[in-house]
Each structure stands twice: as C-alpha cells, then as structure tokens.
Amino acid sequence: MANDNNSPATRLSRRQMLAMSGAAGAAAFAGCSGDTPEEGTGTGVGTGALEGGGEGSGSTSEDESGNGLVDQSLTVPGRYVPTDLQWNSYAPSHYAQQGGKVVFDPFLRNNRKTGELIPYLFQDWSVDGKTLTVNIRENDTWHNGDPVTAEDVVTKFRIDEIFGYAVSDYIDDVVAADETTVEYTMASDYRESVIMTTLSQSWLDTPTSRYGKFVERYDPEMSDEELTQLQSDIQDYQPSEPIGSGPFKYESADQQVLKLAKVEDHASADQINFPYYEVEYMSSNQQQWAAMKNLSGLDATTTTFFPKRIRESLPDAVQEYRIPSHNGYSIAFNHDDEDFGKRNVRRAIAHIIDQNRIATLVDDTKAAVKVPIGVGSFHSDTWDRHLGNNKNIYSSYTNKEKATKLLESEGYEKRSGTWHKPNGDKFAFDIPVPAGWSDFVSMSRIVSQMLTDFGIEATNKNVENTTFFGQHWGSSNFKIAPWFWNNSGQTDPFFTQSWILNSGTVKTNLNYPQEPKAPPMGEPDGEPQTVDIVSKLQQLGTSSDEKKINQLVQEVGWVINQSLPIYPIVEKQSQGFWNTNEWNVPEKGSEEQYVQFHYYWWPRVGAATAREQ
C-alpha cells in the first residue's frame, strides 16, 4: 500500500499549484461565458497540442470518399473564429477543442453506463503489481509522415507531469520499452479499471518531435521559478496549424469554418464514409438552436444545453440523445467560515434546500440528488446499487424541522422571522454566481429564495467570471457558492468519492479538512469522530474484492453524507443532437450512446455515417 504522499486522494502538487496560479489557472474558466462548463473541466487531465507549419502529408481522397452522399462533411459548432484558433490545449485560450477531437487520437474510451474499457490507440494492456504494460496500435503515423511511437506516449505523460495533471498522481514514471510498448510505474497497485479509466481521458497530441524540447528541460527537482517558466513557455507555444495522428487532418480555416480532411490510411478510415469534418463558428447558444431547428448549418452538436422550449420546437428529423452526467449543481461550503465550518449548519442548509423542487422547476434534464453519497446516477437510479440493505441509513435532507433543531443546537436563534447568529448578528450572506452560467444562475436564485423564506437572508449575487474566480472562488472569499459535485469526469465510485472528499478543489478552495469527522455509521446524531479517509480511498482504488469495494463505498458515502464537504442538489444530463435527414445514427439506448462524446467518437467507430443519396 502506498503511503499518503503517493495517493491522488491527498496530493495537490506544487506543479498544480503553480499552474493554477499562473495563466492557465486564471483563464481556466474565463472562456465559459454563456455556458456552464462541461463535466471534467479542470480535473487535471490535459490534451496538449502542436506548433504551426503546414507540414501535414496524410493521404486524402477528395474524388472518391464523398461520392453519392447527401452530405460531404460532418459539421459541428465551435466557439472561436477559426482563424483565431491555436492547437495547444495547455495554452490558456482559443484551443481548437472540437477539431482537436478528430485531429488527435484518444488513448482509449470507456462506456459510462457499463464501465467497459474500449481499446483505441491503446490496443491491449496488463497490470502486474505496480507495473502497467500497454501496447499501442502499430503502423500509426503523424500527419507529417513520422511514425507514432511509444516515446510519444512518454512525452505526453511528461507534459502532463509538468503541469501536475491528475494522471501524474496515479503514475510515478513511464518508459518506452520498445517502439510500441509503454511501461508505466503506478503510484500504488491500482486495479486495472481504475488506472485505465484514468488514462481514458488522455489524448496523444504532443509528438516528441514538437514537445520533446520542453521535456528535455524538465527536472522533477527544478526550482519553483524554473518550473513556472517552463509551464509558461509551453503555454506560450500556440501553433495556428496542427500535426495530429487522428482520422482527420488540417486543411484550411477562414473566418467561419475550420475544414479538416479525412486521412485515408488512418486505422478508423474504413469506418468513416465522408471526406470532410468541419467546425462552424457559432458565438452563441441561440445560433446553434436556430441551426438545428432549421436543419441548416449543423449536423450534430457538441455539449451545448438545449432548454425544453427549444427542444419542443425542433423538427422530427433532429434526434436527441442524453447521458446521465454523474455531476451537476451543488452548493459548496467554505469550511473555514465561522458559520459553514460547523457541520450542523451545513446539515441545516441541506434540509432547507428542496432539491426535488429545484429539479422540477429548472428543466426535465435535471434529476434531484435523492441522497448525497457521491456514487451513481439519479437519472438511471443506479445510485443505490452499492448500498445494499443500508441505503435507508443515509440522510436525504428533506426535513425543515430538523434544520431548525440543528441551527438551535449551534446557538442560532430565530427572532421576528429572521435567524440570528450566536453573536446576535443576522444570519445573512451573498451567494456569488458567474453571471454567464445561466442554469447555475437560475438554480442559485431558487436556493437563495428558499433560504430567505426560511428566515436566512441569502442574496443571489451575479458576478462576472473574472470576479467570481478572482475575488470569491480563487481566494476562498465566500461563505457558500454554487459548484459541481463531481468534476472528476468519471462515474466509478472511486473517482466520484475521491473528488468530493479529496480533490484540489475541495481541499484548496473549500478548505475541507484532511481528516474529516463523521458520526459512527448509522448514527447521524452520534458524536463525530475523525475518519482516516485517505486510507479508505486508497483501499477503494486498489481492492479487487467486490464485497470489500461495496463496503468501502458505503463507508466513504457515509462520510460524504454526514460531513457534507459539498452538497449535491441536482444531476444534469449531457445532450447531443443529430440531423437524421443526412446522417445515420444509433438507436436511442444503444451502447454507443454512453461513450462520450458522440460528435467525435461515433464517426470513428462507424456509428454515425453520412446517408447516401
């Protein structure tokens, strides 16, 4: 068993701290105006990229690939003017996100419903103790003709390590055993599903021929100043054209369209029956809604939210797909705060907020988090599958009378309809919300009204993104604030519960203690005791015994449920829309539906193909 310093549950490295305090940290959410960030944002698994140059040479066929098709290109929306795009995802902004998902290849994918691992660039693998051996797909080439090798995979890891990304918390070292074999040394003896799910978030987008110069400068023992400079130099490297190894290569970009051409010798080429992939610049959600409504300009969407009123106006030819996100809106507490550092006050707030009503009022893509335990989906009701006969011991937080008793137990008093703190001051506070996150704004407004109706003067305060992250979130200058309850981007209990209890967000921004306290299991009003949560999470990540895993999930879930590091309120669903007049797509409920994200994965596996005329 690895010691605490090697656990991803506890390690917020100086590399992460430096990156968070630099340009990348400041800009991490600066581009999210108008959209609430997608799950997985800021979880520490990067994608990297390339420099400019027009060096691509992957073979394409303009004359043969598109003959007889209704549509010659799959068109998806993008948020930036194509000529302003750059191809380094470690850089603060304007990364070609949508194009990058087909220009570069993922290591592997996973099914978010079944947990199945799906080989892709990583063809097969084996785990022996702390050693993970991976064989990559043979005969792959970069678009400039260079072979894709195991050394490129090593380079990818080193760049992630420089920034302290999450994958480097699970892996201590990596070497290229030969041209197509990679050997990882894990930080602990993680079970296969844990380490491979971690790697499923990575993309091969840092060829050694381009990024090797940065890796050569890296030394784990380098000073903070040297490390910050290296991170800055990587972020400043912003090429206008990529060299990838994916199924499409860069062809052109103008003010409106990024055009990518099919690479005929790619491993997925036989699954793709159309010659082009295009990213159309659309600066607002409204443009995307109109395009799908009019069946003009878009073939598929990416992650944009479509409210119910818009969905009801779409033509029958538009097919909607939804995937439970295992993530959504929550209330985050500042555990250093004089009020919300008290467990009973947090529990009282949870009892006051009616999660079922919020889910009903906001949108039918939201489901109430019935019991906050950090596992499963509340759309598919898989949340209780690990709990067995114990699910009734967990608090659902729906009792306002209990809220009154909890506040009174901490010395709070209600006078003339208004709650006062033990020192006599009114119990009043602001709830800062990024103004561009429309669904968060709506839900925070409802939360503040519920608290006010109860006698707590809570004020919803919409602020600019820069203000939120600079004056509230980043500096922990808040009492409570809206946030996500599972930004791990994964669905396995190990990842979701680790994020809620021990992520950098929870430890650094929310000041949650390293050793939390919770009452004995099954005794919510019992005396809180210190819990060695690190040890439990380490066991959860390494055990292969299903009975032991379930036991640990229940124990860790109890700590979440009773200490409330963060209060999950609703779970959202990811949405995807396709124009079926021009595209063949899977039936709803098919296995392909649960592999994210449709707009770049389905073409690779032949699940989305252009219709023939």
Tell me which residue has tokens 């990304």: 165
Q: What tokens were used for 494?
A: 């190990």
Confidence check: pLDDT of 127 > 80: yes
For the segment 357-365, the average pLDDT, to the nearest whole number, is: 93
Q: What is the Cα–Cα distance from 422 to 408, expressed in whole angstroms?
A: 9
pLDDT band at 383 (very low <50, low <70, confident <90, very high): confident
> How many CB atoms lie under 10 A from the CB of residue 509?
21
8 A C-beta contact, residue 190 and residue 129 = no
pLDDT at 24: 39
Mapping DSSP onto H, E and C, the string for 189-202 reads CCCHHHHHHHHCCC
Outline where DSSP puts E strands in 89-227.
105-106, 108-110, 117-119, 122-128, 131-136, 171-178, 181-186, 203-204
Confidence check: pLDDT of 489 > 90: no
pLDDT at 389: 85
pLDDT digits (tens, 9 = 90+) for 527-555: 999 999 999 999 999 999 999 999 999 99
For the segment 348-365, the average pLDDT, to the nearest whole number, is: 95
8 A C-beta contact, residue 283 and residue 80 = no
pLDDT at 224: 96
For the segment 458-478, the average pLDDT, to the nearest whole number, is: 92
pLDDT digits (tens, 9 = 90+) for 561-613: 999 999 999 999 999 999 999 999 999 989 999 999 999 999 999 999 999 98
For the chain, give the number of residues: 613
pLDDT at 172: 96
- By mean pLDDT, which of 36-45, 73-82, 403-412, 435-444 is the weakest? 36-45
Q: What is the Cα–Cα distance from 67 to 173, expressed in whole angstroms?
A: 48
For the segment 172-179, the average pLDDT, to the nearest whole number, is: 98
Tell me which residue has tokens 């993309």: 203
pLDDT band at 114 (very low <50, low <70, confident <90, very high): confident
Q: What is the Cα–Cα distance from 475 to 26, expressed in whole angstroms?
A: 12
pLDDT digits (tens, 9 = 90+) for 71-84: 999 999 999 999 99
| Dihedral angle, C-alpha 529, 534, 537, 539, nearest 10 ° | -100
For the segment 152-163, the average pLDDT, to the nearest whole number, is: 97
CATH architecture of 103-236: Alpha-Beta Complex (3.90)
Calculate the average pLDDT of the chain: 89
Q: What is the Cα–Cα distance from 459 to 451, expressed in whole angstroms?
A: 9
pLDDT at 53: 31
pLDDT band at 200 (very low <50, low <70, confident <90, very high): very high
Confidence check: pLDDT of 558 > 90: yes
- pLDDT over 90, % of the chain: 79
pLDDT digits (tens, 9 = 90+) for 414-442: 999 999 999 999 999 999 999 988 889 99
pLDDT at 19: 54
Closest CA to 205 of 251, 136, 148: 148
Longest pairwise C-alpha distance within the chain: 79
CATH architecture of 244-324+573-610: 3-Layer(aba) Sandwich (3.40)
Give the dihedral sign, CA 158/163/164/165. negative
Confidence check: pLDDT of 48 > 80: no
pLDDT band at 30 (very low <50, low <70, confident <90, very high): very low
> How many CB atoms lie under 10 A from the CB of residue 513?
14
Single-letter amino acid, residue 490: Q
Single-letter amino acid, residue 418: T
Q: How far is CA 91 from CA 27, 49, 163, 208, 289, in A?
A: 9, 9, 11, 18, 29
Tell me which residue has tokens 């990058």: 100
- pLDDT over 70, % of the chain: 89
Confidence check: pLDDT of 444 > 90: yes
DSSP-derived letter for residue 153 is H
Burial grade of 173 (CB within 10 A; 0-12, 13-18, 19 or more): middle
Range 444-462 burial, b when 16+ CB lie within 10 A, else e:
bebbbebbeebbbebebbb
For the segment 174-190, the average pLDDT, to the nearest whole number, is: 97
Closest CA to 595 of 97, 108, 270: 108
For residue 494, cis peptide bond before it (omega within 30 degrees of 0): no
pLDDT at 39: 40
How far is Cα of residue 461 from the mean position of the Cα atoms in its chain? Answer: 25
How far is Cα of residue 23 from the mean position of the Cα atoms in its chain? Answer: 20
Termini Cα distance of the chain? 60
The partner residues of 418 in beta bridges, in order of sequence, read 415
Burial grade of 254 (CB within 10 A; 0-12, 13-18, 19 or more): exposed
Q: What is the Cα–Cα distance from 607 to 613, expressed in whole angstroms?
A: 18
Where along the chain do its domains lie? 103-236, 244-324+573-610, 326-572
pLDDT at 18: 58
Angle at 16 between CA 38 and CA 131, to 5 degrees: 90
Confidence check: pLDDT of 450 > 60: yes
Single-letter amino acid, residue 348: A
For the segment 244-265, the average pLDDT, to the nearest whole number, is: 98
Confidence check: pLDDT of 67 > 90: no
Confidence check: pLDDT of 256 > 60: yes
CATH homologous superfamily of 326-572 equals: Dipeptide-binding Protein; Domain 3 (3.10.105.10)
How far is Cα of residue 422 from the mean position of the Cα atoms in its chain? Answer: 40
pLDDT at 49: 27
